[in-house]
Structure 1
């Protein structure tokens, strides 16, 4: 059992509870479509034992061993909890021993390439005299897609010496537009709005608590799926705000060692969110044209619907363009623009 960190929710409490056995056989990645209809995501409730990455060099052997186990599920993406590779003894010790980005990402890249899957392995990043709560996303070839720095650290983190990030990057990773947010960020909708503006389809949310309805709101309102990685319970939230999977170290079957400490499922990403206004009258034409190749999921109380394509070569963007559909984000942006014009009139 590793030492427990003393932080805001006593999380990472199960950090060493799960034994990681090395898997010697590498998995061959499945061929990827230029545009996928779905991806397989694993959010893992695990934090490695403490290691002083600054004094003795970056060592992610424990993370590799856990990834070897998760790789048996054949996921496209694997996400670990907030700052997990650095805070097994708490944030203050993690800050003291935090590594720089380049050597850390290089080690993550080796694991990603070995198992042919994208990895999200959050850490505390040392950069130019500052420490950031960072989330690197590394693709299956071991290349860095983006690094997100937590924009809204908690008061306790700020007091401990964590610096806030100021950007919300979105990038292509193995054919999917991905982004990230961290824990306390869920209280600040401008983060979600920026992810939406850049058309993220999958957002990784490593954390030290569950997120709950805050994240369900983010998913439906801003139109992306969310992978929640938290030691107690990880989860996958669909674009419609529904939980597709929940599992972690606090799950009874995991505590009894009947099930592993991760949530894993396939997520449909070839879809988008639309408002019913000025779109719903086009449903008959969409159904006549595409039949079973599309799915229309209506959320009447919210005034939204989700349109999904069941064919990899048929993108939801192409359907929307042909049928004259306006996405929710574009419709709301248009309403704001018209409102501002009227205010100036």
Structure 2
């Protein structure tokens, strides 16, 4: 009996030990997988959240408490601000993948939608597009004053539209604040009549700021003679009260005549008798500026180039129809104009404008495709 009991106990002990070995054999790799997965979760979550927070912090435009850009003065001593910024290398590289900015010269010459102003040895092409989310044509005024007619404006390339749409989104707080300040400066509440501040605020509310695009392509001989003679000098129409210019290829120089105030000056008006000086600001690939080209005399300088070193710049302005801008000019008074331009300058002087990242532009591009 004892022997039997011993055999039975020995058999149970053997089976129990064998079961422990099997469980341990299965548990080891399973535990390792769970442990590894837990480590990955712990290592991934904080990094992703931190990166997203940093990206949103850096790439969201906001208003500073004090001026961060100096206020200059243009025509008739009207205040204006020049904000200079740039695209990062990845964003610029992706921009240049769009066909219009990278096509062969023969393809460019045969692009029907471009305004061909070639007079050898000067090659000038200009394309007129909109930057709204829709891929459909938008009825609006041609920004070229020599044309100046309403037409069914085609959509710019998808990535180009996504960039300017992302720019509006990233800097939404700034332009919402500008709209509110313009409404405060407007007499509409008292008179129930639209004035220039009210109409500008309405265009911003419609999302039409930077909605009108002019793509300018230059190569061949430079324009030194026109620059010296004064033929190249001009002020822009009302659509350039907010003007964002982006250089994609080549080199050019923006000449402008402004009364420049000292960066440290607390005086918010030009000194009596102070005269405008010619300011030269070089524009290289990726450079951008935001200003009010309506309010200053300016001229672009182009150099002798071939097709490979051609200059390509996009000028983004307010999108409107002829009827809208004609009404804008008809309601303009000296007082309303002064109020509007002061609101523009004072708001832009504290505007921490941000250029969207490539990821933000691609996000808008995806949103456009899904809409």
Decide: shared fold, TM above 0.5.
Answer: no
Place the TM-score, normalised by the shorter chain, in its bin.
under 0.3
The structure richer in helix per residue is 2
TM-score (norm 2): 0.26
TM-score (norm 1): 0.27
| Structure (1 or 2) with the larger CA radius of gyration | 2
